[in-house]
Amino acid sequence: MLRNEWSGCVGASRHAGRWMVVVVAALTTARPVASQEPMPLEGLDLRLAPIVAMQPTLQMTMPMALIHTEAALAALQPVLAQVPLRLVPKMSVPLSGLGTLGSGAAWWRSEDVLQSPDSLWRAGREALNRGDYGRAAQLFQQLRRTYPRSEYMGDSYYWEAEALRRQGGSDNLRAALDRLREQGRRYPNAGTRRDGEVLAARIEGELARLGDADAAERVSQRVDDARPRGQQQADDELRLAALNALLQMDADRALPILEQVLQRRDAGSAELRKKAVFLVSQKRTARTEEILLNAARTDPSSEVRAQAVFWLSQVPTERAVAALDSILFQSTDREVQEKAIFAISQQRSARAGRALREFAERDDVSEDLRGKAIFWLGQQHAGENQAYLRELYGRLRSSELKEKVIFSVSQQNSAESQRWLIDLALNPSEPTELRKKALFWAGQNNRVPIADLVRMYDTMTDRELKEQLIFVYSQRRDREAVDKLMDIVRNDPDPELKKKSLFWLGQSRDPRAEQFILDFINNP
């Protein structure tokens, strides 16, 4: 019966036969120890039990002394370690043919005495994924102790280190570093080795933040030793990890290292310098402004200069504003100028506002850049900017820039700005498209009285403007807006305008609109 139970278990697997051949071959080729003395059954490695139990005929054809020898057991260890757990029957019966193990009947359960490296590996990763970091670390340790020849050995160090890092605390972080160093010594070609080096840099940064001076020194050394080598991409990952670790350190230690990085001028370090610029911006000290200004003016990479200019927006000093003003007007690099416009717009000084207004009027720069200056002027609610934009509109020749001004004025909540939009929409000397833009943005602001918008419909003769007003009414939640749409359906002689009003009434949440449409269908 036992043989039938095993056959039923392994018969579904196409690998079972292969494993049996390997096991039998190991048994028949193992050399007994010199003494030829049988091992006591109490010392028999229980992992042999399923092999003997599933093949009773094996006991008849092979000397039991051979099975009991230490040499045979040693030969079978690596073989049995690779037998997938799913191929071993789950049974609880006396081991016939093996006698009695100790006193009383011995019972064997596969889940208690036989595990596979696959099952331990999966269990460790699953524990890590569900946040059971202590258990995960234990499982990866157990994997190495139990299956020292497993294919998972090298990578288990990395994943145990990751589990320890996530547990946190100085002791766990140092233990994680020890595991990664051991991986480097014993398994330099492990698949996770490069990731392990990056992880080590991250852990050292966390230790530095916790006050570990040795870790802080190693972080500094990692950055200082970083030089372009053969594996450029992999090395960059390590250097970036080392730079990220600096974010954990105090400014007094981190800034000198970051300055050294920014002094490099080789093309291969541009990405590192960009990262260094960001890290400098996060260290708010008296030196921050000077370092960023130097990078913005002297770095050979346009991208690095642009990043330095961008982060100067976080430095609220007159010196920074003056430098940004100079960069904006003197630079010929469009990306740098765009970042300078943004950085200046974030400053709250009178000089910053003047710089944006002067730039918006320049005819020797692209309309796109001027438009960005106009946009950011609209985001500042200073009264002088509001008056300036309304006045600037009349001096502009570009319709595109005029549209930018209309939008920027609409962002101001003052009564003067909203009145200006209405007047522009009513001005017959303005192009229709610009009047439509003014109507649209006026309608989006609830500060414009709906009564003013309703009166406008009957004063207009341009059909496009009337269509725009119908749309504006549809976007308002005022009762008067729905009343006007129903009035247009009843009284406007233009059937197309009636259709548009009916359509938007159908989208209304006003309960009166539904009844109105029903009545209109029954009595058009």
Q: Please list, residue by residue across 6-45, b when 16 or more beta carbons sit within 10 angstroms of its beta carbon and e when fewer do.
A: beebbeeeeebeebbeebeebbeebebeeeeeebeeeebb
According to the model, what pLDDT value does residue 28 have? 40
Alpha carbon separation from 266 to 132, 207, 273, 275, 466 (Å, rounded): 45, 31, 10, 15, 62
Q: Left (φ > 0), alpha (ψ -120 to 50) or beta: where does 36 sit? A: left
Terminal alpha carbon distance of the chain: 90
The structure's pTM equals 0.57
What's the mean pLDDT when you consider all of the chain? Answer: 77
Q: Which residues contact 394 (CB under 8 A, 6 or more apart)?
A: none
Distance CA 159, CA 192 (A): 9
> pLDDT per residue over 86-117, tens digit each?
444 333 333 333 333 333 333 333 343 336 88
- Output the six-digit token pair for 491: 């009284």
The 8-class DSSP code of residue 314 comes to G
- Establish how many alpha carbons lie within 13 A of residue 500's alpha carbon, considering only the half-sphere containing its beta carbon: 19
Contacts for 21-27 with beta carbons within 8 Å, 24 or more apart? 22/79, 23/51, 23/76, 23/79, 23/80, 23/83, 24/55, 24/58, 26/72, 26/75, 26/76, 26/79, 27/51, 27/58, 27/62, 27/66, 27/67, 27/72, 27/75, 27/76
Q: Are residues 147 and 81 in contact, defined by beta-carbon separation less than 8 angstroms?
A: yes
According to the model, what pLDDT value does residue 70 have? 40
- Output the six-digit token pair for 363: 């005819």
Q: Are residues 484 and 497 in contact, defined by beta-carbon separation less than 8 angstroms?
A: no
Q: Which residues contact 497 (CB under 8 A, 6 or more apart)?
A: 463, 466, 467, 470, 488
The domains of the chain, with CATH numbers, are 2-90 (no CATH), 115-249 (1.25.40.10), 460-524 (no CATH)
Q: Which residues contact 475 (CB under 8 A, 6 or more apart)?
A: 443, 444
pLDDT in 10s for each residue of the chain, 524 residues: 433 433 334 333 334 444 443 444 444 444 343 333 443 433 334 444 444 444 443 333 343 333 333 444 444 444 444 444 444 433 333 333 333 333 333 333 334 333 688 889 999 999 999 999 999 999 999 999 999 989 999 999 999 999 999 998 888 999 999 999 999 999 999 999 888 888 888 888 778 667 666 766 676 666 655 444 444 444 566 666 777 777 677 777 788 888 888 998 888 788 888 888 988 988 888 889 999 999 999 999 999 999 999 999 988 888 899 999 999 999 989 999 999 999 999 998 889 999 999 999 998 899 999 999 999 999 887 678 888 999 999 999 999 999 999 999 998 878 888 899 999 999 999 999 999 999 999 888 777 888 989 999 998 889 999 999 999 999 888 899 999 999 999 999 999 999 999 999 998 888 899 899 988 888 86
According to the model, what pLDDT value does residue 235 have? 57
> pLDDT per residue over 21-36, tens digit each?
344 444 444 434 333 3
- Output the six-digit token pair for 278: 């960001």
Q: Are residues 347 and 380 in contact, defined by beta-carbon separation less than 8 angstroms?
A: no
> pLDDT per residue over 278-308, tens digit each?
889 888 888 899 999 999 999 999 999 999 9
Distance CA 253, CA 247 (A): 10
